[in-house]
Amino acid sequence: MPAQLIDGNALSRQLRAEVAERAAALTARGVRPGLAVVLVGDNPASAVYVRNKVKACADSGLHSVLEKYEATLTEAELLARIEALNDDPAIHGILVQLPLPAHIDAHKVIEAISPDKDVDGFHVASAGALMVGQPGFRPCTPYGCMKMLESIGVSPKGKHAVVIGRSNIVGKPMAMLLLAANATVTVCHSATPDLAHHTRQADIVVAAVGKRNVLTADMVKPGAVVIDVGMNRDDAGKLCGDVDFAGVSEVAGWITPVPGGVGPMTITMLLVNTIEAAERAAGI
């Protein structure tokens, strides 16, 4: 039987409706949740991501500010802007769109964001909080993947989860979230000798690599949940994930499509984190 789809668009609509309700309740109390999005340079993909984030804020009743700077902006100037946003009471979340131009140290910039406004969850304080099981902002993409599992009633508890990829923004926090949810977690990466050996044992596979067809049908246990984080282009230039969707759909129990899977969930969780930041600032 072909796998059931985990529809990221439908789940996003549901979660964004909840965000809009919380935003309206906060606004009625005189606190309009606000997100600042900072874009440096003219990377065309970044411009699209940033536009989508600003639009998502407007659609859910959040206030947003888009700060666009030339690629020549200095690191010191950017750090000064972050400091000003940290002090701005109308701003509850700060997002610096990555990548930054090479002359700017992205790590330094992320660390300059107040952990209370770190809605991307990339600050070392947020990563540390996740590591030790303390409250803090969870990185939006893996947080969205956890919501997808929840939405289909699959608890990671007692399951074997395999995460392919170990980046700081997806793979590692994904592994931590699954571990916190009591899964037994294996993390694979480019130096893993026999990827299929691991994925074939997995009840849950999360692919976060950035290469087409990293996961094919022969690598998947029948009935497994497959979450595809990857964003790639096929030969025809169409958006596709890391997973051979057609083949794996015949074996898996559940699968996320690309597009329409993890992508919309990432922006949705950014809105959720921003609302949470605003509620905390308002003492709720």
Token duo for residue 130: 């996740």
| Stretch 223-262 residues interacting with ligand NAP (CB under 6 A) | 229-232, 262
Of these, 82, 112, 185, 209, which contacts ligand NAP (CB under 6 A)?
209
Compare residues 78 and 265 and give the one whose CB is closer to ligand NAP: 265
Which lies closer to ligand NAP via its Cβ, residue 114 or residue 232?
232
Closest CA to 23 of 266, 274, 265: 274
Q: How far is the CB of 1 from ligand NAP (least distance, A)?
A: 27
Total chain residues near ligand NAP (CB under 6 A): 26
Single-letter residue type at 193: P
DSSP 56: H
The answer to whether 190 contacts ligand NAP (rule: CB under 6 A) is yes
Task: List the interface residues with ligand NAP, window 77-96 (CB under 6 A).
Answer: none
Asked if 165 interacts with ligand NAP (CB under 6 A), we say yes
Is residue 277 within 8 A of residue 116, CB to CB? The reply is yes
Residue 68 three-state SS: strand
Q: Is 120 a catalytic residue?
A: yes
What is the secondary structure of 132-163 as a DSSP string? Answer: TT---PPPHHHHHHHHHHHHTT---TT-EEEE
Between 32 and 211, CB nearer to ligand NAP: 211
**Which window, 34-42, 91-99, 118-126, 164-172, contacts ligand NAP (CB under 6 A)?**
164-172
Choose the catalytic residue: 117, 118, 120, 221: 120
Mapped onto helix, strand or coil, the DSSP state of residue 187 is strand
Interface residue with ligand NAP among 167, 184, 201, 213 (CB under 6 A) is 167
State the nearest-atom distance from the C-beta of 261 to ligand NAP, in Å.
7
Signed CA dihedral, 67, 72, 78, 84: sign only: negative
Q: Taking the C-alpha atoms of 190, 191, 195 and 201 in order, what is their torsion angle to the nearest 10 degrees? A: -110
**Contact indicator for 240, 211 with CB cutoff of 8 Å:** no
Residues at the contact surface with ligand NAP, assessed by CB under 6 A: 141, 164-167, 169-171, 188-192, 195, 208-211, 214, 229-232, 262-263, 266
* Catalytic sites, residue numbers: 53, 97, 120
